[in-house]
Chains A and B, each alone.
Chain A
Amino acid sequence: MSTVTHTSGQRRPDAVPPAGPATGRRAGAAAYSIGGRIFNGFSHLFLAVWAVMVVYPLFWVVMSALKTDSEVIREPLSLIPESLQWDNFARAWTAGIDSFFLNTLLVLVFSVTLTMLLGSMAAYALARYEFRGNRLIYWMFLSGLTLPVYLAAVPLFKGVYNMNVVFPLLGPNKHATLILVYVAWSLSFTVFFMHSFFRTLPHSIAEAAMVDGASHTRSFFSVMLPMAKPGLISIGIFNVLGQWNQWYLPTLLMQSVSGEPKHQVIAQGLIELSVNQGYKSDWSGLFAGVTMAMLPVLIVYIVFQRQVQSGLTAGVGK
């Protein structure tokens, strides 16, 4: 960080650094230029308009979820419901949202944990040990980043159906299947990300641990993994959001085979809910469903917004 040493006379009033809240001190900057003010006003206006464009639809959905059906039709634009209809939520909840949530949570708890564990284990072995085939395995993981999931869709679908014959637990419409598929498809980015992270950690500490008698495995779990915590948080957020938002893989794999109820996750179920509620003209119920799929994530995000923003931008930016 440096200090500005020139005087205000030397710079034009509108000449200012386009970067963050400036910390440089300026000597007697009395320059409240007209142009600057107009620009400031314009900035506020434009940013506010965009903020409204982001928030207004979300708010509209939440408010419509609290109206009666006839009010949704009569006064679709009003943002203040005549009276709050909480039973819309109860109706949407029993129309399937309850099981969507349950399935999503059940799958996510295991798939994210397993992704992080297996991903960091593979990344660690690849980043810090020389052995034959190291590059090959690394590139194999990396290639998954460019290949579109639709390419694998047909054989994956077929493979899971064949699995049903020999090992039904890993057949279609099983939580375990979805967990393993999520893990496998998340490994590419997780290995890629954690690989570069483990490379930056100093070698001396792991070596010291091993001199003290720790095994390779132990020095990974009790020394290296805790040191990689910032990276784990980043990739963790990335995986939670990514897997929470999955809809193509579940739509493909969570289909009922023998008449048992489909184990749908939230994104997948929401599509079906939107079709069904449309047929029944239960618009308020649909809005309630969307609200319930949306609010928990938004609330978690608002609470952890710093970590989420820095975690995701680190994951994409570097």
Chain B
Amino acid sequence: MRHGVARFVTGFLALPVALYLFYVVWPFVQAAGYSLTDWGGYSDSQHFVGLDNYVRLLSDELIRKAFWHNVFFLVTVPLFTIALALFLAFLLNVGGREDRAGIRGVFGSALYKVIFFFPQVLSLVVIAVMWQQIYRTDSQGLINGLLIKIGLVDAENPLAFTADPEPFLGVPAVLWWLLLIAVWSGAGFYMVLFSAAMQSIPKDIYEAAILDGASRFHTFFRVTLPLLRDTISVAWVYLGFIALDMYALVFVMTPSQGGPNHASEIFASVIQFNAFQKGQFGYACAIAVALAIFTILLAALQLRITRRDRIEF
């Protein structure tokens, strides 16, 4: 049986590993190397500068901005998406009428699930270009147009959306408008995910709760939510990655890809700005390495916080 195992394993792994090394691992390793140089990217001149780039990074005003914007998305995207998705899943699964067969899911819940999932299959770029039109700053935009029509917004002074650097609750308004798109596009998927998890919870648990006289809402907060813990923490991790990767929205929707006046810079846009507009590849790589370390630390932290005894059912 052992005959030919080595040859077989080598044959099966050679191509995938080679591709992965060449197009994923090697660039990562190189990036770490370049981050220690002053390479501009377009010339051949590069000098080893040690940790200079990293020192510079610590006092870079733009990076500090980008960092806090990343943190903002990291907190708000999962928070709002999960809260809304849980609420929708809750309504979908217990909002139905009571009748002879007990409580039902809302009438038409299958249809709702299909519709809410729509944004998930659309590419983020399609969504972004579409929202560009929704967010237009004249009466042609969907939101401004509606608001002007019903008289809530003055036609001379429409909402500026992603061109609005004015702070709202301490954060530039443009970030809130981007957040809205992220939540809009993510809520449906996580609702379907939570809905599936809710339905896999055995009915006896609820029956026990009901016998003890728990209400619909009590049951949700005391029984359903704790049992969904695993699913929610997985969702949190995934949304965390999505939050770090809001670049598509920033790229398409904001003036000069991070504007106005750097009000919507995030790590990715700062990397892009330094590498391809300012021609500082070495420095851009240092930012990227910092982002990677930040990501890995977060992932590790996340795993530590959410690790807990699994509830088996």
Which residues of chain A have a CB within 8 Å of any CB of chain B?
A: 1-2, 4, 6, 10-26, 29, 31-33, 36-37, 39-40, 42-44, 46-47, 50-51, 53-55, 57-58, 60-61, 64, 72-73, 76-77, 118-119, 121-122, 124-126, 129, 131, 137, 140-141, 144, 146-148, 150-156, 158-159, 180-181, 183-185, 187-188, 191, 207, 210, 215-217, 220, 241, 244-245, 247-248, 266-268, 270-271, 274, 283, 286-287, 290, 293-294, 297-298, 300-302, 305, 308-310, 312-313, 316-317
Contacts and interface: CB of A to CB of B under 8 A. Distances in A.
Given A146-B299, A155-B27, A283-B140, A20 B98 contact: no
Interface string B259-299: 00000000110011001000001001100110110011001
Given A10-B211, A76-B139, A77-B149, A16 B125 contact: no
B43 to A, nearest CB: 12
A215 B28 CA distance: 37
Interface in B108-131: 109, 112-126, 129-131
A147 B19 contact: no
Contact of B184 (A54, A118, A309): A54
B93 interface: yes
Given A17-B94, A118-B19, A152 B140 contact: no
B196 A317 contact: yes
B224 to A, nearest CB: 5
Contact of A148 (B4, B23, B245): B245
Give the 4 A-B CB pairs with smallest separation, nearest first: A43-B95, A17-B206, A16-B103, A184-B23
Contact of A187 (B20, B209, B220): B20
Interface of B: 1, 4-6, 8-9, 11-13, 15-17, 19-20, 22-28, 30-31, 34, 41, 87-88, 90-107, 109, 112-126, 129-134, 139-142, 145-146, 149, 184, 187-189, 192-193, 196-199, 201-204, 206-207, 209-211, 213-216, 219-220, 223-224, 231, 234-235, 238, 244-245, 247-248, 251-252, 267-268, 271-272, 275, 281, 284-285, 288-289, 291-292, 295-296, 299
Contacts of B215: 12, 14-15
A291 to B, nearest CB: 10
- Chain B interface, >50% SS class: helix
B95 A40 contact: yes
A58 B126 CA distance: 10
Most buried by A among B120, B130, B216: B130
A305 B142 CA distance: 29
8 contacts: A16-B98, A26-B102, A29-B99, A39-B216, A42-B95, A140-B17, A151-B288, A245-B123
Contacts of B140: 72-73, 76, 283
Contacts of B99: 29, 32
A147 B92 CA distance: 36
Nearest to A147: B292
Contacts of A129: 5, 8-9
A57 B130 CA distance: 8
Contacts of B117: 301, 305, 308-309
B122 A77 contact: no
Contacts of B204: 2
A317 B291 CA distance: 26
Contact of B207 (A4, A183, A298): A4
Given A76-B141, A147-B28, A26 B100 contact: yes
Given A20-B198, A154-B288, A180 B19 contact: yes
Contact of B97 (A12, A37, A64): A37
A312 B235 CA distance: 13
Given A21-B105, A129-B5, A155-B26, A15 B210 contact: yes
Given A17-B219, A183-B19, A185-B24, A46 B210 contact: no
A184 B94 CA distance: 44
Contacts of B245: 148
B124 A122 contact: no
Q: Chain A CB within 10 Å — which of B6, B23, B238, B291 has the most?
A: B23
Nearest to A13: B98
A214 to B, nearest CB: 12
Contact of A119 (B11, B16, B189, B199): B16
Contact of B281 (A40, A64, A154, A181): A154
A122 B23 contact: no
A308 B192 CA distance: 11
